[in-house]
Amino acid sequence: MRVGFVGLGAMGAGIVPRLLNAGHRVTGWNRSPEKAAPLLKAGMTWVDTPRAVAEQSELIFSIVTDAPAVRAVALGKDGILSGLGADSIYLDMSTIAPDASRAISREFAKAGRTMLDAPISGSPVTLAQGRASIMVGGDRAAFERAQPVLLDIAARATFIGESGLAAQMKLAVNLLLMVEVIAFGEAIALAEKGGVAREIAVDAVLNSVAASPVLGYRGPFILEGKLPKVPLADVNLQQKDMLLVLELARKLGTPVFLAAAANEMMNACRGLGLDRHDFVIAHEAYRRLGGQSG
């Protein structure tokens, strides 16, 4: 299939090779062209605008930082909508607010075009392992058309419901992920303060009933020298998601006590100058706040 991809950051750069390996013809664009160089060597075709990506593709994906970035690539000058064919489908994989996703989708609907919110759950690590998952909101028939390609990217593609509900579900999943990773850091810092060696504490957790996929690959990052130089998701990026959760909860009138606590821990990380690290650095924040050093 002719597939387009807009946004070639850490996740996009991992998704495109999977599409190429599945036999699809991929056309791509990114705001920073230099990021596309390895993908061009792998067989991706480069074009100069999101519009050109849409003009050459049956399915067009985007994955960018936030709602303003989605609006820019989707609805801006030379955006995806301006080049999208009547039979093509646009799928946004970004993590943004449900209302923002619905608003953008309505613009596509007004033009007689189809947009799905299709956020991907996973990191570059789980994506490379073939263990990512995709949640989809919008027209079910469009989802069914896109599903075979979605399964070339991820292990599972789940239809959540109407437009915006997949974006909402992604925020719920990220809430759980954030709380889990931060609680891990709290638990390890507690064990360390009481005299347990960090390596032993991490091994004990990862071999206990509390173990999980995200802790399996992220937990060891807190060991000496294991923190990745390029974070899978830094403190600022993860706090963006928690702020989206808090705003959604405010609109819905539902309590999210643990999301609020996770957000405060991201504030603590930023205050301690740890914000450019992967958010598993919350463990170090707990250590410092608890009087541990070295």
Q: Which residues form the catalytic set? A: 170
CB-count burial class (<10 Å; 0-12, 13-18, 19+) for 155: middle
Residue 67 vs residues 23, 63, 198, 245, 265: alpha-carbon distances, Å: 31, 10, 39, 14, 24
φ/ψ of 127, rounded to 5, equals -65, -45
CB neighbour list of residue 68: distance below 8 Å, 6 or more residues apart: none
CB 270 within 8 A of CB 235: yes
Tokens for 261, please give them.
Answer: 């606590």
Sign of CA dihedral 227, 232, 235, 238: negative
Q: How far is CA 275 from CA 170, 248, 265, in A?
A: 23, 24, 11
Backbone angles phi, psi at 27, to 5 degrees: -115, 135
Comparing CA positions, the residue from 173, 70, 76 lying closest to residue 121 is 173
Q: How many Cβ atoms sit within 10 Å of the Cβ of residue 129?
A: 13
Strands (E), 81-208: 89-92, 114-117, 120-121, 133-137, 156-161
